[in-house]
Chain A
Amino acid sequence: MALLEIRNATRRFGRFAAIDGVSLSIEAGEFFTLLGPSGCGKTTLLRMIAGFEKLDSGQIFLDGRDLSGIPPEKRPVHTVFQSYALFPHMTAFDNIAFPLRMAKRPEREIGERVLKALGDVRLAEKSDAYPRNLSGGEQQRVALARGLINRPRLLLLDECLAALDAKLRVEMQIELIDLQKELGITFVFVTHAQDEALALSHRIAVLNRGRVEQVGEPSSVYGSPRNRFVADFIGHISQIEAVVRESAPRHLRLEAQGLEITAPPMKSAVAGEKGIFAIRPEQVRMGLDDITDLRNHYRGTVESVLYRGDVSLYKVRLEGGALMEALLPNTGRTFGVNDEVCVGWRHDAGMYLNE
Chain B
Amino acid sequence: MHRLWVLGVFIFLYLPLVVVIVYSFNDSRLNAEWVGFTLGWYRVLFRDDEMLKAAGNSLAVAFASSLIATVLGTLAGIAIQRYRLKFLNFLVMAPVAMPEVLAGVSLLLFFIQLMDMDLGMLTVVLAHVAFSVGFVAVVVRVSVASLDRSLFDAARDLGASPLAVFRHVTLPLVMPGIIAGFLMAFTLSIDDFVITFFTAGVGFQTLPLRIYSMIKISVTPEVNAVSTLLMILTLVLTLVAMRLAPEAIKGEA
Contact = CB atoms under 8 A, between A and B. Distances in A.
A152 B156 CA distance: 14
Interface in B129-160: 148, 150-151, 153-160
A318 B158 CA distance: 58
A81 B172 contact: no
Contact of A72 (B151, B153, B168, B169): B153
Interface in B148-185: 148, 150-151, 153-161, 164, 168-169, 172-173
Contacts, number: 60
Contacts of A72: 153, 156-157
14 contacts: A50-B153, A72-B156, A73-B156, A73-B158, A73-B160, A78-B157, A79-B154, A81-B154, A85-B151, A85-B153, A88-B173, A98-B158, A102-B159, A103-B159
Interface string A135-154: 00000000000110010000
A173 to B, nearest CB: 22
A212 to B, nearest CB: 24
Nearest to B153: A52
Contacts of A82: 150
Given A83-B148, A85-B148, A87-B169, A73 B154 contact: no
Contacts of A98: 155, 158, 160, 168
Nearest to A96: B158
A50 B159 CA distance: 11
A83 B150 contact: yes
A64 interface: no
Interface in A160-179: none
A250 interface: no
Interface in A25-52: 50-52
A71 interface: yes
B156 A81 contact: no
B141 to A, nearest CB: 18
Contacts of B168: 98
B157 A73 contact: yes
A333 interface: no
Contact of A85 (B150, B160, B164): B150
A78 to B, nearest CB: 6
A325 B83 CA distance: 52
B173 A89 contact: yes
A99 interface: yes
Interface centre among A71, A81, A82, A87 (most CB of B within 10 A): A87
B150 A71 contact: no
Nearest to B173: A89
A210 B163 CA distance: 33
A51 B164 CA distance: 17
A58 B151 CA distance: 28
Contacts of B159: 73-74, 99, 102-103, 150
A99 B150 contact: no
Interface in A188-226: none
Given A73-B164, A102-B158, A102-B160, 11 more contacts: A51-B156, A51-B157, A52-B153, A77-B157, A78-B157, A78-B158, A79-B153, A83-B148, A83-B150, A85-B148, A99-B159
A50 B158 CA distance: 10
A74 B161 CA distance: 9
Nearest to B159: A102
A60 to B, nearest CB: 15
A79 B159 CA distance: 11
A187 B66 CA distance: 50
Interface in A69-114: 71-74, 77-79, 81-83, 85, 87-89, 98-99, 102-103
B205 to A, nearest CB: 43
Nearest to B175: A89
Contacts of B150: 81-83, 85
A52 B150 CA distance: 11
Contacts of B158: 73, 78, 98-99, 102, 146-147
Contacts of A147: 158
Contacts of B160: 73, 98, 102
Contacts of B156: 51-52, 71-73
Contacts of B169: 87
A44 to B, nearest CB: 13
A91 to B, nearest CB: 13
Nearest to A101: B168
A71 B153 CA distance: 11
A87 B155 contact: yes
Contacts of B155: 87, 98
A71 B173 CA distance: 23
Nearest to B158: A99
A331 B62 CA distance: 81
Nearest to A158: B150
Contact of A73 (B148, B151, B161, B172): B161
